[in-house]
């Protein structure tokens, strides 16, 4: 009689990474009949997912230089795919996801370059764009001092925490926590790969036909664990800013908008969220986050105050509270360090390494990976019993962590 306490489970695919990309793929694979499981070393939604602004881009912001880029072409179909899912009529049922806004906005300032960017974006993009006037504008643009133009974009904005939960809850039986820093081993076999989870006396072994590394920044460590350095990864940092009202002066309404500038990046991107005390929070990215990566906290806050004062001089932020969020975007390495235009999928020796490059492209990433698995002739096995093993918790959104605020 064998004394090996390991519970061995045969599966088609083991996915690493519990962000939106990995969870979307898990849902699609299981819906297609594959025996798939997902492993997460931290909490679900940790990493780039919880720092995302939740905008399901249709590509308008990538056309601001007056021509369609690879990014705008690749992402143009995404809002329609997501909207179908949000209504329960798409490839996944996301009706429980909280929609922060059914659309977002772009606005131009009085400057010529900003107004020209708005003209080009509205003319060139396939996603519907319309000018917004009067009471249809977000509250902050109704001030008489505002002299720019406002455009509506048919691109929804989602609460990423509810998105993670909507993707994870139907698949909880197939989502498992990787224990500790040394609680997992991956071994190559003649049939595929073994993934061993070890916690004390407990052992689980997944015998998999394919592994999918969809762990964002964590892909580098996973590749290293199996003795590989490729595909190489690059990190593009951001220094995001949060601001909330204080002492009886809340922020003026909700805002989900890009400010047009002269470059391919928005001058500033603002989305609205709520902290643990239900205070309204503006979460700020765009060019200020790109340029602020080398600034210390106080310097970045000062830059954000200056930018908002120029854009909204009528807005009183004298008692507002501020926070900064330095983050890294993980992507495949590009020769010139630029932003990738599309999803990235690489397969070598039974391991698929993938980056969506943008939250909105997660459905596209899943489709490309499934097509690759099917082309390789991997047929779904009969579903068996999954192990009793701890499941990861959900990560909170960063603006709901009080220690983030100055």
First and final C-alpha spacing in the chain: 61
pLDDT higher than 60, residue 284: yes
Rounded to an integer, what distance in angstroms lies between the CA atom of residue 122 and that of residue 398? 33
Looking at residue 2, what is its pLDDT? 47
Mean pLDDT of 173-190: 93
- Dihedral angle sign, alpha carbons of residues 7, 10, 16, 21: negative
- Between 119 and 320, name the one with better pLDDT: 320
Return the percentage of the chain with pLDDT > 90, whole number: 77
| Minimum mean pLDDT range among 79-88, 114-123, 139-148, 362-371 | 114-123
pLDDT higher than 80, residue 403: yes
> Could you say which DSSP state residue 41 is in?
S
Mean pLDDT of 282-290: 96
**Averaged pLDDT of the chain:** 90
pLDDT higher than 80, residue 163: yes
pLDDT higher than 80, residue 69: no
pLDDT higher than 90, residue 12: yes
Looking at residue 19, what is its pLDDT? 98
Could you identify the residue written with the tokens 């709901």? 400
Looking at residue 285, what is its pLDDT? 97
Mean pLDDT of 74-78: 81
Tokens of 97: 């996801």
Banded model confidence at residue 109, pLDDT cuts 50, 70, 90:
confident
Condensed to tens digits (0 to 9), the pLDDT of residues 359-401 reads: 999 999 999 999 999 999 999 998 888 999 999 999 999 999 9
| Minimum mean pLDDT range among 18-22, 76-80, 283-287, 312-316 | 76-80
Looking at residue 72, what is its pLDDT? 58
pLDDT higher than 70, residue 4: no
Condensed to tens digits (0 to 9), the pLDDT of residues 257-274 reads: 999 876 667 899 999 999
Determine if residue 177 is left, alpha or beta; phi over 0 gives left, psi from -120 to 50 gives alpha, anything else beta.
beta
Nearest-Å Rg of the Cα atoms of the chain is: 22
Enclosing H/E stretch for 131: strand 129-132
Neighbours of 95 (CB within 10 A): 11
Looking at residue 127, what is its pLDDT? 46
Beta bridge partners of 116: none
Looking at residue 61, what is its pLDDT? 55
Q: How wide is the angle at C-alpha 140 spanned by C-alphas 137 and 145, nearest 5°?
A: 100
Q: 43 with 394: CB under 8 angstroms?
A: yes
Looking at residue 1, what is its pLDDT? 39
Banded model confidence at residue 111, pLDDT cuts 50, 70, 90:
confident
Looking at residue 122, what is its pLDDT? 54
Tokens of 388: 């009793």
Q: Long-range contacts of range 127-133, CB-CB < 8 Å, 24 or more positions apart?
A: 127/58, 127/59, 127/60, 127/76, 127/79, 127/153, 127/154, 127/155, 128/153, 128/154, 129/60, 129/153, 129/154, 132/105
Mean pLDDT of 115-136: 64
Query: How far, in Å, are 145, 185, 240 from residue 51 at the CA level?
Result: 32, 29, 9
* Helix, coil or strand: residue 143: coil
pLDDT higher than 90, residue 112: no
Looking at residue 85, what is its pLDDT? 98
β-sheet with 104-108: strand ranges across:
129-132, 149-153, 104-108, 257-259, 268-274, 280-285, 233-244, 321-332
Neighbours of 248 (CB within 10 A): 6
Chain-centroid distance, C-alpha 258: 17
Looking at residue 123, what is its pLDDT? 55
> Could you say which DSSP state residue 319 is in?
T
Condensed to tens digits (0 to 9), the pLDDT of residues 149-162 reads: 898 988 999 999 99
Condensed to tens digits (0 to 9), the pLDDT of residues 303-312 reads: 999 999 999 9
pLDDT higher than 70, residue 249: yes
């Amino acid at each position: 009689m064998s004394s090996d306490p390991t519970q061995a489970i045969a599966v088609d695919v083991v996915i690493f990474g519990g962000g939106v990309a990995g969870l979307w793929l898990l849902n699609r694979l299981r819906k297609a009949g594959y025996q798939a499981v997902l492993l997460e070393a931290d909490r679900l939604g940790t990493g780039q997912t919880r720092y995302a602004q939740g905008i399901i881009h249709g590509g308008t912001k990538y056309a601001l230089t007056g021509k369609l880029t690879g990014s705008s072409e690749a992402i143009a179909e995404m809002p329609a795919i997501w909207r179908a899912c949000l209504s329960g009529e798409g490839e996944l049922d996301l009706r429980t996801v909280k929609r922060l806004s059914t659309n977002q906005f772009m606005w131009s300032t009085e400057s010529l370059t900003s107004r020209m960017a708005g003209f080009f974006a509205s003319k060139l993009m396939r996603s519907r764009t319309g000018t917004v006037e009067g009471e249809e504008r977000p509250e902050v643009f109704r001030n008489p001092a505002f002299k720019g133009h406002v455009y509506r974009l048919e691109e929804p904005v989602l609460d990423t925490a509810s998105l993670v939960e909507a993707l994870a809850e139907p698949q909880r039986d197939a989502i498992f926590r990787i224990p500790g820093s040394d609680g997992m081993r991956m071994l190559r076999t003649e049939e595929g790969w073994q993934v061993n989870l070890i916690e004390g006396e407990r052992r689980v072994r997944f015998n998999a036909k394919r592994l999918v590394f969809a762990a964002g920044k964590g892909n580098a460590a996973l590749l290293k664990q199996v003795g590989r350095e490729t595909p190489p990864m690059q990190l593009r940092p951001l220094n995001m800013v949060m601001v909330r009202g204080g002492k009886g002066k809340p922020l003026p309404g909700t805002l989900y908008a890009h400010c047009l500038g002269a470059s391919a990046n928005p001058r500033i991107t603002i989305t609205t969220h709520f902290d643990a005390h239900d205070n309204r929070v503006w979460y700020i990215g765009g060019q200020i986050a790109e340029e602020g990566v080398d600034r210390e906290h106080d310097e970045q806050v000062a830059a954000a105050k200056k930018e908002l004062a120029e854009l909204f001089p009528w807005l009183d932020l004298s008692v507002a509270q501020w926070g900064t969020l330095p983050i890294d975007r993980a992507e495949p390495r590009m020769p010139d360090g630029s932003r990738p235009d599309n999803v990235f999928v690489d397969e070598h020796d039974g391991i698929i390494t993938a980056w969506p490059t943008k939250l909105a492209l997660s459905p596209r990433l899943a489709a490309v990976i499934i097509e690759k698995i099917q082309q390789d002739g991997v047929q779904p096995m009969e579903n068996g019993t999954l192990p009793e093993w701890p499941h990861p918790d959900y990560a909170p959104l960063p603006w709901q962590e009080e220690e983030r605020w100055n």
